[in-house]
């Protein structure tokens, strides 16, 4: 009985004999479903994202999005980007175009930036110097304007966390009506179970702790900018929630 | 130790606190109402959330075992702590075994409950609170006064002064400047930390995941940049499946801050895989009882349905007037006055269940419709049974009950009182001084005169004519 | 057509402090053709004892109440949201272990109707009397949240010819009475009351209407202590004037 695990489990079982748990059922019924949106999900998503101070730019094709992003980098005078593995970026020739303009793409696997097991902290310090992050996403949630990202080898979690500005590429066919619909979709549970980290991002980092006044950019990105693309002209059209390419380790 | 009345007086005389409470509580309340109004199935989601919590608590042993199994399968190390001391010891042991020197913490009420920081600091560890509000609390050696908004009682100028002293920002810094100052101080902490300590909004039994919700992003940092992540999880905090998690997340943010979802929801499912380049190398879950099984055993089990959104604080007229500190317990407000004696025992916390008019605003606001007044009534009955009721009240109620079950006696008592009342000073016919403990009424309120003849006497007389 | 017959559950406060309002209840009901009966021997429903944890004492008072009302016929009309809620919702807590009492409780509880609810929901009345004035309405906690009665009192006020009803800010916030709460934690209770009184004052209403004599006593008690005039009135008092 000194084992705290058995002690706690015994206490729980003993307590449950006397516990008053109103409305407890043996099984949980299916959750209520909201009526479907009457407007296109992309419109709902864009509006919801703007409502939480994110920004949404919409494009017909990946090429349009690529050109916009290149112009953005030029406007901001950026020389480095913290991003997913270039091959995982869902606009196929984007990495190439960026490099052609002299912009360095830094991911956790880039030569010189690999995790130094002896000096993890120095490595993080170096990555934290980069002001702009670029990622794809696994899904978008229309009702809340949220982005879903699963971490894996090619899709590091720092690119959406460390920089001040986070650009995310989202295709319209990746948008689900809401959190519940995404969770209920085939494959979602397995994807969550197999990823060390799943994050749902709903707008830029914010705090209202000081003076109860909403202020952006507390710890995470101050700006979240979504490039929302209507058509995939390149490659096949993946099912909802599936990422554009899978990179084997 | 000043009693609740005295602590309430201090709070009521604190003009800053009063101003902050007035401004913030209404803001939270309106936010919640609008967030649910915008959702076509909001009320149905609340019902579903209640069903999930009820089922989880009623089958807690099964879900704990399922959580343990899935967590271990994804590489998370699971520990069990029967009480606060055991939980603190486990955290300390993990820190020592891994040569940890610097710890960053994400906001967690459970770590407040088990007073973790003091233990870690005594052991020579450097502990940094990273939720902006908790960071302010830590710098100032204060205590959080609201479970969602820890420094709701601080003014901007006070934060500016504090940051000026500790972080060197200008004395007249505005809010964006203050936030930038905190951001860079805390960023340094995140990058230098060896271990991250968090609580858990939920732990998913299906996948063995710890779920953390923050707006600032500190929850993500604490569980990403340090080598080790330790999550302290109250044993009641389980969501059986991801589907259930989806329902609970949808009501949590709406109830807490009026947001549709918080900015960051992290679902942490084990340590970094060997092929990954970022994320913690170890993830630990510490399952903490610390009185929760005491609460489970009986009439108060329903309080464990709570998802810690703070909505009941925001609508509570008592909290609205006195703020969080006057309760002098880790959990303030309606949830606090039940959960504190439920897990910690009634004897040390006997004054808390009295701090309510049973107005029921909390039940109405609670996303999982916890019947807090029902449990307050149970706690008050227990209080009487254990002899904690004041003597005057005991005698008074017994006499009153005796009279009330004997209508003639009741009538005579009323007649006596009618005579006695004319000795008190009066204003507009109402008494301005009642005797004994009832004087607490007449200090700020007059009391009406007893009628010359009661309605029932008048009615009888009439029907006999 | 036979007249609707009701049992009048006076409540101890109206019986002993405000018999004129109890009379107003009868007047308003009789004006609608209701036959009002008053079971003799009424004292107190036991709520003050129950709310402060004295369940044995509350149960003895509840038993007395059941003895008076169980065998009488028709709806039990009560001019207090909280006393009605006590009988309707809490008596069953007191007799959880006594099945035969419980059966009596359920039968009585099903008959209990709060005064404004009875007028509007059961009788379908909208205009029940009242004089032209500027009114505001404080919805008492137990009426709105325990009984779930929202609207009838407002309906009755809105149908007083020429009367004006102005919304009360923070209307559903408790006035701070709470039974013994008012004497156990007088500081908090008074703070809540002051906020309520300030809100009432801000409406510039001639009369603040309530459906519970306990809230009325608390608020008028505060007004008088502050040297102001007691403008809080029970709904029955307002409707009886015509």
Residue B395 lies in a domain: no
Q: At residue C235, does pLDDT exceed 50?
A: yes
CATH of A43-208+215-229, one of 2.30.40.10, 1.10.10.520, 3.40.50.2300, 3.40.50.10420: 3.40.50.10420
Q: Which chains contact A through at least 3 pairs of Cβ atoms less than 8 Å apart?
A: B
Whole-number percent of chain C with pLDDT over 70: 100
Determine the residue of chain B that is closest to A142 in CA distance.
B260
Task: Based on the fold, state whether residues B56 and B112 are members of the same structural domain.
Answer: yes
Identify all chain C residues contacting B432, using CB atoms and an 8 Å cutoff.
Answer: 225
Average pLDDT over residues C41-50: 97
Identify all chain B residues contacting C54, using CB atoms and an 8 Å cutoff.
Answer: 381, 384, 389, 394, 397-398, 401
Q: At residue A241, does pLDDT exceed 80?
A: no
Identify all chain A residues contacting B272, using CB atoms and an 8 Å cutoff.
Answer: 196
Give residue A118's pLDDT. Answer: 57
pLDDT interval class at B424 (50, 70, 90): confident
d(CA A195, nearest CA chain B) in Å: 7
Cα–Cα dist A4/B446, whole Å? 57
pLDDT interval class at A249 (50, 70, 90): very low
Determine the residue of chain A that is closest to B254 in CA distance.
A144
Average pLDDT over residues A34-46: 97
Nearest CB to C55: which of B364, B381, B449? B381
**Partner C contacted by B420 (CB < 8 A):** no
Residue whose token pair is 């807690």:
B60
Whole-Å CA distances, B312 to B252, B315, B366, B373: 12, 5, 6, 12
Q: How many CB pairs under 8 A join B and C?
A: 207
Q: Which residue, B290, B321, B352, sits at the end of a domain?
A: B290
Identify all chain C residues contacting B414, using CB atoms and an 8 Å cutoff.
Answer: 16
Task: Based on the fold, state whether residues B127 and B239 are members of the same structural domain.
Answer: yes
| DSSP per-residue string spanning A217-235 | -SSS-SEEEEEEES---SS
Q: For C193-218, what is each residue's pLDDT tens digit?
A: 999 999 999 999 999 999 999 999 99
Mean pLDDT of chain B: 95
**From the CB of residue C112, how many other CB atoms can be counted at a distance below 10 Å?**
24
**Partner C contacted by B381 (CB < 8 A):** yes
> Is the CB of A156 less than 8 angstroms away from the CB of B48?
no
Cα–Cα dist C219/B447, whole Å? 10
Whole-Å CA distances, B290 to B111, B233, B461, C198: 11, 11, 63, 44
Task: Based on the fold, state whether residues B443 and B379 are members of the same structural domain.
Answer: no
Helix (H) or strand (E) holding B242: helix B242-256
Task: Based on the fold, state whether residues B135 and B66 are members of the same structural domain.
Answer: yes
Mean pLDDT of chain A: 91
Identify all chain B residues contacting A196, using CB atoms and an 8 Å cutoff.
Answer: 74, 268-273, 276, 279
Q: At residue A237, does pLDDT exceed 60?
A: no
Higher pLDDT pick, A110 / A151? A151
Give residue B420's pLDDT. Answer: 86
Task: Based on the fold, state whether residues B63 and B149 are members of the same structural domain.
Answer: yes
Number of folded domains that form chain B: 3
Give the DSSP letter of residue B180. H
Q: At residue C106, does pLDDT exceed 60?
A: yes
**Partner A contacted by B159 (CB < 8 A):** yes
Q: For B202-232, what is each residue's pLDDT tens digit?
A: 999 999 999 999 999 999 999 999 999 999 9
Cα–Cα dist B217/A215, whole Å? 13
Nearest CB to B405: which of C64, C182, C189? C64
Whole-Å CA distances, B308 to B112, B208, B338, C27, C55: 14, 21, 13, 50, 31
Mapping DSSP to helix (H, G, I), strand (E, B) and coil, where does residue A77 land? Answer: coil
**Partner B contacted by C123 (CB < 8 A):** no
> Is the CB of A196 less than 8 angstroms away from the CB of B268?
yes
Identify all chain C residues contacting B441, using CB atoms and an 8 Å cutoff.
Answer: 182-183, 186, 221
| DSSP per-residue string spanning B14-67 | -HHHHHHHHHHHHHHHHHHHHHHHT-TTHHHHHHHHHHHHHHHHHTHHHHHHHH
Residue B104 lies in a domain: yes
Q: Which residue, B359, B389, B419, sits at the end of a domain?
A: B389
**Partner B contacted by C5 (CB < 8 A):** no
Lowest mean pLDDT: which of A131-135, A175-179, B196-200, B417-421? B417-421
Whole-number percent of chain B with pLDDT over 90: 89
Give residue B62's pLDDT. Answer: 98
Q: For B142-174, what is each residue's pLDDT tens digit?
A: 988 888 888 988 989 999 999 999 999 999 999
Cα–Cα dist B114/A59, whole Å? 52
Cα–Cα dist B72/B77, whole Å? 6
Give residue A234's pLDDT. Answer: 53
Determine the residue of chain B that is closest to C43 in CA distance.
B404
Average pLDDT over residues B41-61: 98
Q: At residue A211, does pLDDT exceed 80?
A: yes
Give residue A83's pLDDT. Answer: 96
pLDDT interval class at A39 (50, 70, 90): very high
Q: Which chains contact B through at least 3 pairs of Cβ atoms less than 8 Å apart?
A: A, C
Determine the residue of chain C that is closest to B458 in CA distance.
C19
E strand intervals along A54-118: 55-59, 80-83, 104-106
Task: Based on the fold, state whether residues B184 and B247 are members of the same structural domain.
Answer: yes
Average pLDDT over residues C138-145: 98
Q: For B93-150, what is each residue's pLDDT tens digit?
A: 999 999 999 999 999 999 999 999 999 999 999 999 999 999 999 999 998 888 888 8
d(CA C204, nearest CA chain B) in Å: 21
Question: Which token pair is C59?
Answer: 């149960």
Give residue A239's pLDDT. Answer: 46
Give residue A115's pLDDT. Answer: 55
Cα–Cα dist B364/A229, whole Å? 43
> Is the CB of C186 less than 8 angstroms away from the CB of B453?
no
Give residue A50's pLDDT. Answer: 98
Q: Which domain holds residue B155?
A: 48-290
Average pLDDT over residues A231-242: 56
Give residue B182's pLDDT. Answer: 96
Residue B394 lies in a domain: no
Q: What are phi and psi of A124, to 5 degrees?
A: -65, -40
Q: At residue B395, does pLDDT exceed 60?
A: yes
Average pLDDT over residues B350-361: 98
Identify all chain B residues contacting A249, using CB atoms and an 8 Å cutoff.
Answer: 275
Task: Based on the fold, state whether residues B350 and B213 are members of the same structural domain.
Answer: no
Q: Which residue, B290, B320, B345, sits at the end of a domain?
A: B290
**Partner B contacted by C225 (CB < 8 A):** yes
> Is the CB of C174 less than 8 angstroms away from the CB of B361?
yes
Task: Based on the fold, state whether residues B70 and B27 are members of the same structural domain.
Answer: no
Q: For A86-145, what is each residue's pLDDT tens digit?
A: 999 999 899 999 999 999 999 877 766 655 455 778 888 889 999 999 999 999 999 999
Determine the residue of chain B that is closest to C23 in CA distance.
B455
**Partner B contacted by A249 (CB < 8 A):** yes
Check if the beta carbon of residue C213 is closer than 8 Å to that of residue C17.
Answer: yes
Cα–Cα dist A53/A166, whole Å? 13
**Partner B contacted by C67 (CB < 8 A):** no
B-contacting residues of C 93-122, CB under 8 Å? Answer: 93
Q: For B295-330, what is each residue's pLDDT tens digit?
A: 999 999 999 999 999 999 999 999 999 999 999 999
Give residue C121's pLDDT. Answer: 98
Q: At residue B384, does pLDDT exceed 90?
A: yes
Average pLDDT over residues B1-15: 94
From the CB coordinates, do chains C and A have 3 or more pairs under 8 Å?
Answer: no
d(CA C127, nearest CA chain B) in Å: 26
Task: Based on the fold, state whether residues B122 and B264 are members of the same structural domain.
Answer: yes
């Amino acid at each position: 009985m000194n084992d705290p695990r058995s002690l706690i489990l015994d206490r729980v079982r003993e307590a449950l004999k006397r516990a008053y748990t109103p409305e407890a059922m043996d099984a949980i019924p299916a959750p209520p479903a909201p009526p479907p949106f009457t407007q296109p999900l992309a419109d709902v998503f864009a509006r919801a994202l703007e409502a939480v101070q994110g920004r949404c730019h919409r494009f017909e094709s990946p090429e349009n999005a690529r050109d916009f992003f290149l112009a953005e980098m030029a406007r901001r005078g950026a020389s480095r980007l913290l991003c997913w593995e270039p091959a995982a970026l869902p606009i196929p020739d984007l990495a190439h175009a960026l490099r052609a303009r002299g912009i360095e793409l830094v991911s956790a696997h880039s030569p010189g930036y690999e995790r130094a097991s002896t000096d993890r902290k120095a490595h993080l310090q170096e990555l934290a110097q980069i002001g702009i992050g670029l990622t794809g996403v696994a899904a978008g949630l229309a009702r809340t304007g949220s982005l879903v990202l699963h971490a894996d080898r090619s899709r590091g979690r720092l690119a959406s966390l460390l920089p001040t500005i986070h650009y995310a590429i989202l295709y319209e066919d990746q948008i689900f009506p809401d959190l519940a619909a995404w969770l209920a979709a085939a494959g979602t549970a397995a994807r969550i179970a197999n990823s060390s980290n799943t994050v749902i991002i709903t707008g830029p980092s914010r705090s209202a702790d000081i003076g109860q006044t909403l202020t952006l950019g507390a710890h995470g990105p101050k700006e979240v900018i979504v490039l929302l693309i209507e058509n995939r002209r390149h490659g096949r059209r993946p099912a909802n929630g599936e990422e554009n390419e899978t990179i084997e380790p | 130790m000043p009693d609740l009345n005295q602590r309430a007086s201090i709070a009521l005389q604190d003009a800053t606190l009063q101003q902050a409470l007035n401004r913030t509580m209404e803001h939270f309340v309106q936010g919640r109402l609008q967030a649910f109004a915008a959702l076509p199935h909001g009320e149905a989601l609340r019902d579903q959330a209640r069903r999930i919590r009820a089922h989880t608590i009623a089958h807690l042993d099964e879900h704990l075992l399922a959580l343990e199994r899935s967590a271990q399968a994804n590489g998370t190390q699971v520990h069990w702590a029967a009480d606060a001391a055991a939980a603190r010891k486990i955290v300390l042991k993990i820190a020592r075994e891994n040569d940890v020197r610097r710890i960053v913490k994400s906001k967690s009420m459970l770590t407040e409950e088990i007073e973790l920081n003091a233990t870690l600091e005594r052991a020579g560890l450097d502990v940094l609170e990273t939720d902006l509000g908790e960071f302010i609390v830590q710098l100032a050696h204060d205590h959080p006064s609201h479970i969602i908004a820890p420094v709701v009682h601080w003014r901007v100028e006070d934060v500016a002064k504090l940051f000026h002293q500790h972080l060197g920002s200008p004395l007249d810094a505005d809010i964006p400047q203050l936030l930038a100052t905190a951001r860079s101080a805390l960023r340094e902490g995140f990058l230098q930390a060896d271990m991250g300590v968090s609580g858990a909004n939920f732990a998913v039994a299906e996948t063995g995941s710890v779920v953390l919700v923050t707006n600032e992003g500190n929850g993500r940092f604490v569980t990403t940049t340090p080598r080790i992540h330790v999550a302290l999880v109250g044993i009641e905090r389980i969501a059986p499946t991801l589907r259930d998690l989806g329902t609970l997340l949808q009501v949590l943010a709406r109830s807490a801050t009026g947001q549709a979802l918080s900015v960051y929801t992290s679902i942490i499912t084990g340590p970094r895989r060997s092929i990954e380049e970022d994320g913690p190398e170890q993830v630990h879950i510490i399952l903490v009882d610390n009185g929760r099984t005491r609460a489970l055993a009986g009439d108060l089990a329903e309080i464990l349905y709570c998802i810690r959104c703070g909505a009941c604080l925001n609508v509570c007229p008592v909290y609205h007037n006195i703020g969080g500190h006057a309760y002098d317990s880790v959990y303030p407000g309606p949830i606090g006055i039940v959960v504190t004696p439920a897990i910690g025992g009634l004897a040390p916390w006997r004054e808390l269940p009295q701090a309510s008019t049973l107005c029921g605003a909390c039940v109405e606001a609670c996303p999982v419709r916890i019947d807090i007044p029902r449990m307050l009534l149970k706690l008050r009955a227990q209080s009487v049974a254990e002899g904690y009721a004041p003597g005057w009240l005991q005698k008074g109620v017994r006499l009153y009950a005796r009279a009330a079950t004997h209508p003639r006696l009741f009538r005579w008592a009323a007649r006596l009182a009618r005579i006695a009342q004319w000795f008190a000073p009066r204003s507009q016919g109402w008494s301005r001084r009642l005797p004994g403990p009832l004087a607490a009424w007449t200090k700020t309120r007059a009391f009406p005169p007893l009628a010359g003849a009661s309605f029932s006497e008048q009615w009888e007389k009439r029907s006999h004519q | 057509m036979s007249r609707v017959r009701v049992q009048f559950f006076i409540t101890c406060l109206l019986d002993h402090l405000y018999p004129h309002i109890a009379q107003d209840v009868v007047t308003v009901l009789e004006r609608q053709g209701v036959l009002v009966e008053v079971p003799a021997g009424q004292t107190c429903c036991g709520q003050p004892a129950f709310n402060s944890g004295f369940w044995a004492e509350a149960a003895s008072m509840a038993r007395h109440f059941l003895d008076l009302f169980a065998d009488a016929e028709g709806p039990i009309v009560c001019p207090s949201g909280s006393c009605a809620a006590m009988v309707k919702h809490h008596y069953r807590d007191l007799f959880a272990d006594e099945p035969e009492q419980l059966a009596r409780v359920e039968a009585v509880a099903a008959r209990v109707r709060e005064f404004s609810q009875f007028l509007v929901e059961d009788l379908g009345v909208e205009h029940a009397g009242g004089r032209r004035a500027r009114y505001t309405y404080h919805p008492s906690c137990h009426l709105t949240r325990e009984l779930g009665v929202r609207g009838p009192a407002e309906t009755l006020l809105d149908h007083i010819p020429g009367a004006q009803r102005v919304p009360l800010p923070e209307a559903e916030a408790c006035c701070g009475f709470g039974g013994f709460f008012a004497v156990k934690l007088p500081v908090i209770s008074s703070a809540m009351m002051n906020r309520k009184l300030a809100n009432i004052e801000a409406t510039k209403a001639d009369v603040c209407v309530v459906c519970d004599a306990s809230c009325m006593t608390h608020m008028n008690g505060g007004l008088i202590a502050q040297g102001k005039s007691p403008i809080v009135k029970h709904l029955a008092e307002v409707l009886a004037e015509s």
